[in-house]
Amino acid sequence: MTSEKTSVQGGAILALVGMNIIWGAMFPLTKPALEAIPPYTFTLLRFAVAMAVLLPLNRRESFALLRGPDGIKLALLGLLGFCAAQVSQSVALKLSTASDIALLSTTSPIWIAFLAWLWLGERLNRYGGIGFLLAIAGLTLILWPKESVGQFVGGQRVLGDAIFMITGFTWACYNVIGKDLMERHPPLPVITATGIVGTIGVVPFATYELLNGQTPEFTPVSVAGVAYAGLLVTALGFGVLFWALSRVSAAHVAILMYLQPLAGVLIAWLLLHEPLGLEFVIGAALVLGGAYLVTVRSPSEVEVLHR
């Protein structure tokens, strides 16, 4: 029985390793698609693909939740965690480098710990405090105005990085505000219900792009990018995450998260030839070290979900 449990746990860890690499690779692999598909439209198409998979699995439960007493809260979560978070992510990825965005995605646990302290009264120990200071120092180095490097204009890159901070904040709000919902309801119907609202919320943004002549070009690269983000990152990603969470400890999940920026930065460097300066390397080390201290050495009770 023990060996069987160990085998299942090992399988869950391997699944999380694969998913964290897939999540980290999303930024460099989908960035080329944003050259052919405007960011709001890309987000809408990604959600449509994901919902086409998730809705048939738990349609009744999802719509029942939206019609129930938690409907307003679910709608707020959908607008924050899906609409605002993913729209800002797509815009940021278009403006900045994939390596910057892959690294900055690691700040979500830091935002969550901060909001859990502010709203839920969950205190951080000294490791958490040190982690915050390290992460802020690293973010300052990364977000500090830079000169143009290669094809990336300094001001545009910094703007993209700054916009992506909205993603981290709104996704943290999604996790903290939705904590009690995740405890009272099965996670997948909650994710699907909020995803429905988020998809509807993106429609006006995509319509605005279309009315302003920003029409999508469906090339093999752009279609592959949408499919990757919708099917692998969102639909499969959530399924694997929820399956694994019941089989491994939160510490395993937290530690494996650090595969995401490593995979994203490496693939961006190899495939997109994105330059990595000394400031980025030092800032990355500080952010990752700070996120590790906040997540592992001073963990919040709020579960960190992936995108």
pLDDT, tens only, 62-100: 999 999 999 999 999 999 988 998 899 999 999 888 888
Task: Please tell me the distance from the alpha carbon of residue 155 to that of residue 264, in angstroms, as a whole number.
Answer: 22
- Confidence (pLDDT) at 66: 95
Total number of domains in the chain:
1
- Confidence (pLDDT) at 8: 67
Per the rule left: phi > 0, alpha: psi between -120 and 50, beta: everything else, 144 is beta
Nearest to 43 by CA among 111, 93, 6, 5: 93
| Percent of the residues in the chain that have a pLDDT greater than 70, as a whole number | 80
- The answer to whether position 307 is within a domain reads no
- The answer to whether position 20 is within a domain reads yes
Task: Please tell me the distance from the alpha carbon of residue 226 to that of residue 102, in angstroms, as a whole number.
Answer: 18
Better-scored residue on pLDDT, 244 or 160: 160
Host domain of residue 154 = 2-297
- The answer to whether position 304 is within a domain reads no
- Confidence (pLDDT) at 1: 46
- Confidence (pLDDT) at 70: 93
- Quick one: average pLDDT of 100-106? 81
Better-scored residue on pLDDT, 266 or 74: 74
The mean-pLDDT minimum among 57-61, 65-69, 119-123, 301-305 falls in: 301-305
User: Does residue 172 register a pLDDT over 80?
Assistant: no
- The answer to whether position 303 is within a domain reads no
Task: Please tell me the distance from the alpha carbon of residue 186 to that of residue 191, in angstroms, as a whole number.
Answer: 9
Task: Please tell me the distance from the alpha carbon of residue 26 to that of residue 5, in angstroms, as a whole number.
Answer: 31
CB-based burial of residue 69 (10 Å sphere; 0-12 exposed, 13-18 middle, 19+ buried)?
A: exposed
The mean-pLDDT minimum among 19-28, 32-41, 223-232, 284-293 falls in: 284-293
User: Does residue 151 register a pLDDT over 60?
Assistant: no
- The answer to whether position 281 is within a domain reads yes
